[in-house]
Structure 1
């Protein structure tokens, strides 16, 4: 059976990036590190060229492309967080050391990879059967950078 994995292109530091990512999400791990058997345009023999890792049960690859990638915003790693403490912990870690806050729970980490840090309550609020509740939660979300569960709940309650 075929296996699907998301491949992320990095300029260098693929082992550092993968180690950092798996340190953030419980139950994650580095699965394999492949090293270049000979010289190549992006580096020398022995340099890590591909790291496979599992992040929150999902398979990823970190590819050493030799130069930084421009990820744009069309794709991101989305993490559903159980509570505000988890939102805050991940937000602080991922925006540290050159990461950047965006809007509506989006950020870029120090390698430029886009992430969404989303409280698990948000989809429930946005799918509320009362359109007024969903609209208030949606409007509140659009004013936030890092998502705030208490603020979303207050807005939803009216």
Structure 2
């Protein structure tokens, strides 16, 4: 069956969905919050949230829709899911790396980071597949650069 609507990732937060959506839409150009819904009184015995508290925030980043859900403390983000930011040049890598690690974010390794909400991101060159390529010797050299890095450096990867 063909879907008429796009698939929209839902990101589970413990009360910070609106704050996260505001942060992400400030980092990415052409982004906006498109809808905010609030917990109703109905179902409070199930959801446990105060009526009127933000339940979901739908936002768009660079043409892709996401939903932030204030679902409570039950689930946390893990590295099993990450959002990839494909960058055209080092200036873009530097910008997104700095923005997403700001205010408590954490540099990890190999182009990976966690933002202040614990969501994992990969900030990498848009031509990563070409840089790694099919030549095993070049691939090995580029991977050595990647594996020894936190934030990726396009010039170092190209030189390898």
Same fold (TM over 0.5): yes
Residue 2 of structure 1, CA deviation: 4.4
Which residue of the partner structure matches residue 23 of structure 1? 26
Residue 131 of structure 1, CA deviation: 2.7
Which residue of the partner structure matches residue 151 of structure 2? 146
| Aligned partner of residue 97 in structure 1, secondary structure | helix
Tell me the distance in 2 between the aligned counterparts of 1:42 and 1:140: 48
Which residue of the partner structure matches residue 142 of structure 2? 137
Which residue of the partner structure matches residue 51 of structure 1? 57
Which residue of the partner structure matches residue 12 of structure 2? 9
Which residue of the partner structure matches residue 73 of structure 1? 79
Is there any run of 5+ residues in structure 1 with no aligned partner, and where? none
Is there any run of 5+ residues in structure 2 with no aligned partner, and where? none
Residue 123 of structure 1, CA deviation: 1.8
Match of 2:91 among 72, 85, 97: 85
Is 2:107–2:113's contact at 8 Å kept on the other side of the alignment? yes
Tell me the distance in 2 between the aligned counterparts of 1:81 and 1:42: 41
Aligned-pair Cα RMSD in Å? 1.7
* Residues 25-62 of structure 1: per-residue CA shift (max 9 Å, x gap): 22222111111122734532211100111112222110
Residue 95 of structure 1, CA deviation: 1.0
Is 1:12–1:68's contact at 8 Å kept on the other side of the alignment? no
What TM-score, normalized to structure 1?
Answer: 0.89
| Aligned partner of residue 103 in structure 2, secondary structure | coil
* Residues 119-147 of structure 1: per-residue CA shift (max 9 Å, x gap): 113221112x4332222112211111110
Residue 68 of structure 1, CA deviation: 6.5
Which residue of the partner structure matches residue 101 of structure 2? 95
Shift in alpha-carbon separation, 1:102–1:138, aligned structure 2, 3 A:
same
Tell me the distance in 2 between the aligned counterparts of 1:52 and 1:42: 21
Residue 80 of structure 1, CA deviation: 0.2
Shift in alpha-carbon separation, 1:84–1:42, aligned structure 2, 3 A:
farther
Count of aligned pairs between the two proteins: 154
